[in-house]
Amino acid sequence: MKTAAVLYSLSAISAVYACGGDPTHSHRRRAPAVITPPSRPLEWGDINIIHTTDTHGWLLGHQKKSAPEPNYSGTLGDFSSFVTHMKDVALKKDVDLLLVDTGDLHDGTGLTDGYPAGGTDAHDSDKFFAQLPYDLLAIGNHELYHYEDTLDMYKNFIPKFKGRYLSSNANITIPDSGGKPISVPVGNRYAKFKTRKGRKVTSLGVIFDFTDNDKGTTVQKVQDMVKEKWFLNAIKDEPDLFLLAGHMPVQRNDWPLVFNAIRKIHPLTPIVILGGHSHVRDCTQLDDRSMSLESGRYMETVGWLSTKLDDNKTKKKIDFSRRYLDANRITYEYHTGLKQTNFDTSLGKSITVGLLALAKKFNLGYFYGTAPRDYTLTQDPYPSTGSALSLFIANAVPYALAQNNPRAKIPNFIIANSGSQRFDIYSGSFTKNDLLTASPYDDPFLYIPDIPFSLAKEVLAALNKPSVKSDRAELASGSVNKIYTEWLRDMSKVKTGKKKGASDTLGYVTRDVSLPCYLVFKALTELATIKSCPGDGDDTPHTPLPYFPVPEYISSKPPKVSDKTPVDLVFANIAKKPIIANLNLLQKVKVYTPLDAQKYSPVLLNEAIGIYAKAEWK
């Protein structure tokens, strides 16, 4: 087994830029893109679980050369080969190995979102995901935003898993045999099955209290679900293991409601909770006979959890282990004990080839230009030349909106939500897939004319005042980005005890629940004692990623006008409601309504960077 950190090095791309007089210019060079192998073997138990969540279409892996992207460069085909070999290892060890996913297959890359007109999000990419031997899956909120997506899952994807795709509290409305609409579970409410070794498992698939689902779908509150007769019947009999798979974070949400309901009946039965949605690596234990694991996002992380069972007749704690694996071939080869020459399975190779063909079919390689450097969301300060948010709002949007626009000569001030940008842009070829990945939302731009420039600036400041929402409210409103960036902030403060050097690998440095930003609601923890999971969860040691905070709302460069000058206040449609509310709070001359917001340009938010790149990135 090779162990040198440089055994799978990708060529680094860096450049020197003239700094001029810009005090915000970033001088940071990217570290060489080196994949470091895992630090130690996995701990196996009686039941072992490989966990994925929030994959969001990243099925061809992260293919950019700048760190930390090579850490996550494994394709779904590579992952398939890994799972096949790990199943073989489990057979040799004579233990159980389960494969579980906890939702959000949709919305994220061109493989899901790049389909031609008339298509359905993730319809084609899901066919490849369905080729893996998942033992259990749960629905995510991104499977519920559009009824046609949910219906496609219901008809074409879920049946392939024969009762193992769970949606305990999510329903879809379909016509019955007589054409009358009826509400039915999207998948199954629960599953009871035996493992290869004959162990009895009872599983639920729960989603958080999601309220932005499309018409024709319903999500029941978790607090109501646990009172349902079917739920109480499902948990009545004692299995060897309760395996709860769901699209809820293992912190700051309703898992304790489900956990406590089970514990009232089965105080000693082992419980494993596999969560999702908040895009972080996290682990906690609600008691000594349970473990809750969340395994990141975007196929950056493969989660591992193992447990050694007992006879359930004592109150002693159960041994659990967990690990966060970087999703790349070096990781997969290390843990299967194989080399590059004998790692790929025929199915794995077939999946990768098929995904590449799908990318070609969707024209995801369409070339906009060559990005001159890396632009990041949080690894560079905002504003700065290295900020992806600065690139978007200060350069791309003003340029794109000025094209063929009769109002282009009127001074404007443009506001957008920073969450409108989903991923970093890396140096080199910038393609259709990169655009869909970085800036996915097809929001129109609106404007309100004749706003004094001083008032426009006040609106931006008001929008960025600290939110009074609770963590729970933030989560319910879908503010995954806020939770994830808080986590990045806390990761960046972790002291690793290592000196930063060329051989270090930039990446996640995880400390689970012990970080101060993770607070579980006391009202939900009647029977649960929250504590951090033991040991180091990261499979590969990393140097923390740099982190810089970003405001919730960002703006174009101020026009060179006086404060009294009337300007066009331009904004993305998603910000219409809070902008109008703040306009009415900050002045009393006029009462603004949504009717005052007019369409500013035919250019949509997700087109701006592409238009700019075609013109400027020759």
The pLDDT of residue 30 is above 70: no
For 486-516, b/e burial (b = at least 16 CB within 10 A) is bbbebbeeeeeeeeeeeebbbbbbbbbbebe
pTM: 0.91
Q: Please state, as a whole number, how many other Cβ atoms lie within 10 Å of the Cβ of residue 19.
A: 11
Instruction: Give the tens place of pLDDT for each residue, 466-487.
Output: 865 544 444 444 578 888 999 9
Average per-residue pLDDT for the chain: 90
Concatenated DSSP letters for 283-302?
Answer: EEESSTTEEEEEE-STTTEE
pLDDT band (50, 70, 90) for residue 20: very low
pLDDT band (50, 70, 90) for residue 19: very low
For the four alpha carbons of 197, 191, 81 and 63, in that order, the dihedral sign comes to negative
Average pLDDT over residues 131-150: 98
Q: Which residues pair with 174 in a beta bridge?
A: 182
Average pLDDT over residues 16-41: 52
Average pLDDT over residues 535-555: 94
Q: For the chain, how long is the longest CA-to-CA vector?
A: 78
Ramachandran angles phi, psi of 328, nearest 5°: -145, 165
Pairing assessment for the beta strands 566-572 and 412-417 based on DSSP bridges: parallel
Lowest mean pLDDT among 91-105, 185-199, 373-387, 462-476: 462-476
Question: Is residue 77 within 8 Å of residue 302, measured between CB atoms?
Answer: no
pLDDT at 467: 65
Instruction: Give the tens place of pLDDT for each residue, 51-90.
Output: 999 999 999 999 999 999 999 999 999 999 999 999 999 9
In a 3-state reduction of DSSP, which class is residue 499?
Answer: coil
Candidates 306, 322, 318, 315; CA nearest to 46 is 306
What domains sit in the chain, N to C, each tagged with a CATH number? 47-360+507-544 (3.60.21.10), 365-464+551-616 (3.90.780.10)
Tokens of 136: 């259990």
pLDDT at 478: 53
Burial class (CB in 10 A: 0-12, 13-18, 19+), 210: buried
The pLDDT of residue 385 is above 60: yes
For the four alpha carbons of 454, 455, 456 and 461, in that order, the dihedral sign comes to positive
The pLDDT of residue 520 is above 70: no
Instruction: Give the tens place of pLDDT for each residue, 210-263.
Output: 999 999 999 999 999 999 999 999 999 999 999 999 999 998 789 999 999 999
pLDDT at 482: 86
The Cα–Cα gap between 163 and 188 comes to 6
Lowest mean pLDDT among 390-399, 408-417, 500-509, 532-541: 500-509
Average pLDDT over residues 32-42: 84
Amino acid at 214: D
The C-alpha R_g of the chain, in whole angstroms, comes to: 25
Average pLDDT over residues 515-532: 46
For the four alpha carbons of 143, 144, 145 and 148, in that order, the dihedral sign comes to positive
CA distances from 565 to 410, 448, 596 (A): 11, 14, 19
Q: Which residues pair with 188 in a beta bridge?
A: 166
pLDDT band (50, 70, 90) for residue 496: low
Q: Mention every residue, 6+ apart, whose C-beta is less than 8 A from residue 286.
A: 255, 256, 259, 271, 273, 292, 525, 528, 529, 530
Amino acid at 29: R
Average pLDDT over residues 426-449: 97
Which helix or strand (DSSP H or E) is residue 225 part of?
helix 222-225
Instruction: Give the tens place of pLDDT for each residue, 264-307.
Output: 999 999 999 999 999 999 999 999 999 999 999 999 999 999 99
Q: Which residues pair with 506 in a beta bridge?
A: 543
Q: What percentage of residues in the chain have a pLDDT greater than 90?
A: 82
pLDDT at 523: 36
